Amino acid sequence: MVTAIDTLLRERKLILVTGKGGIGKTLVSCMLARRAVALGRRVLVVEQSSVAQIGPLLGFAEIGHEEQWIGLLGVANFSAAGNFRDYVSNHLMKSHLLDVVLSNKIVHSLFTAIPGFGELMLLGRLYFAQNLSKKTRPDLIIMDSYASGHFLSLMTTPDAVLQSGLAGPIVHHTTAVKKWLEDKNQCSMFYVAVAEDLVISEALEFLPILAEKSPVNLAGIVMNRSLPELAEAPTAQKEGVQDALAFGAKLGNLATQFMAARRERQRLAFKKYSGGIARQAVLENLPVWYLPELGAVAEPITTEAVDLFLGGANVR
């Protein structure tokens, strides 16, 4: 598991992490970042959220639009307004009037109201940080990205712009960004899920669409919060849920009953996923990494926690 993930962390320039909201993609992003730093890479972790989440996990007190670094680890919370300002200042306008123009409420309302404009500026900001910045550039950018639906919109924005009939610098820059995203040797994405029936159903429906429409290569599924038995042998649990519950009752242990029922639900969800990918050619050979359930994780994340999280995983 660690070897397979390490290869991606060593070789990629951009890793995007998405999935259904609330299932651990922020934790996965931060764990991957810590691991990449341990491998000697200079890593920038990016989010775009009104509430900063990666800071406490990575040991940063505050996070803003500008990059902050501690050793090889950097963080940033790219805001829509900040991305727009960066684009204008880096590509279109370099004058003392810039702040005056961008602080104008009409201008601000205009760029925030255009469909897909914020997503385009975000992709451009990632591209600039990795390829054009005059500052010391990161070896790897890991983005704790949007939840599934919004993420798909982010991934389809370059095509929408290029097919819009627009011309000029913005089309030139969008073309460069899309070409970069399409490079499988530089850019990849992970989809985070958990072995629960509803989440698996949504993943089976969403992933083929994402794989078809996204310019970024889908590198694998990260199945978070997997109980130990599932991570070690997801098909080995042969007892039915009633047998498992009966066994727990005989022990007089309600916790055992709860965990047995949860393992059974995960087993059935994994079985559903296995059956679903058999009908989806695009998912057939996609690796699935099972990350163990750790419970509460201390902040900031320690190297020991990363080793336990990634080292305790299995891949299928």
Average pLDDT of 29-47?
97
Average pLDDT of 25-33?
96
pLDDT digits (tens, 9 = 90+) for 104-145: 665 556 555 566 888 999 999 999 999 999 999 999 999 999
Alpha-carbon distance 155 to 120, whole Å? Answer: 9
Choice among 5-14, 275-284, 298-307 with the minimum mean pLDDT? 275-284
CA-CA-CA-CA torsion sign (19, 23, 27, 28) = negative
What's the pTM? 0.86
In this prediction, residue 101 carries a pLDDT of: 56
pLDDT band at 277 (very low <50, low <70, confident <90, very high): confident
In this prediction, residue 241 carries a pLDDT of: 56
Closest by CA to 289, choosing from 266, 312, 306, 307, is 312
Average pLDDT of 187-202?
95
In this prediction, residue 237 carries a pLDDT of: 41
Q: What percent of the chain has pLDDT over 70?
A: 82
Of residues 254 and 222, more confidence is placed in: 222
Contact 138, 42 (CB under 8 A): yes
Alpha-carbon distance 216 to 125, whole Å? Answer: 16
Token couple for 189: 């994405």
- Is pLDDT above 70 for 233? no
The strand ranges marked E within the chain are 14-19, 43-47, 68-70, 73-77, 140-147, 187-194, 217-226, 288-292, 314-315
Of residues 143 and 230, more confidence is placed in: 143
Alpha-carbon distance 29 to 35, whole Å? Answer: 10
**Which residue's structure tokens are 């370099």?**
94
Alpha-carbon distance 309 to 53, whole Å? Answer: 19
pLDDT band at 96 (very low <50, low <70, confident <90, very high): low
In this prediction, residue 94 carries a pLDDT of: 58
CATH superfamily of 2-228+285-309: P-loop containing nucleotide triphosphate hydrolases (3.40.50.300)
Average pLDDT of 247-265?
71
In this prediction, residue 242 carries a pLDDT of: 58
The β-bridge relationship of strands 288-292 and 314-315 is antiparallel
Which range of 139-148, 222-231, 297-306 scores highest in mean pLDDT? It is 139-148
Neighbours of 218 (CB within 10 A): 20
* Amino acid, single-letter form, for residue 106: I
Contact 126, 187 (CB under 8 A): no
Contact 31, 301 (CB under 8 A): yes
Average pLDDT, the chain: 85
Write phi, then psi, for 71 (nearest 5 degrees). Answer: 65, -125
- Is pLDDT above 50 for 9? yes
